[in-house]
Amino acid sequence: MKNMEHRHTRFMRDQVPVRLGGLAADLARVSSAARRETGAATVEEMIEESRWFIEWTAAETEPEVAAELVEIQRQLGLWRRAWPEAQKHHPQRVLLSVQAKKWSDQILGYSGLLDG
């Protein structure tokens, strides 16, 4: 991931709810991009970025939320390793897209940003 130190510094300036919102937005972009046949490198980069966002945020959330985030991070790692082959198959791209959207919605709920 490009400019990791800069991204970390910028990301950590925000409060946890905003960081969770950013993670949810990242996963929504994964969902959208995974359906397309082009842009596989972009999907890989966004998956990796999402994994870092979880790494930087999970410890500051409630234990139940942290456990869910770590599980999502683990599953993203599996997708990251499988993506070079999975991207060649439409059903696999759709599966990642659907899963990333589910995670995005789940994390947006954790953020509390829609409560209000």
Is the pLDDT at 2 greater than 80? The verdict is: no
Question: Whole-prediction pTM value?
Answer: 0.93
State pLDDT tens for residues 13-45: 999 999 999 999 999 999 999 998 887 889 999
Is the pLDDT at 115 greater than 70? The verdict is: yes
CA distances from 23 to 8, 43, 74, 105 (A): 13, 14, 15, 10
Rounded mean pLDDT of 47-62? 96
Q: Which residue bears the tokens 């390793």?
A: 81
Q: Which residue bears the tokens 């999502």?
A: 72
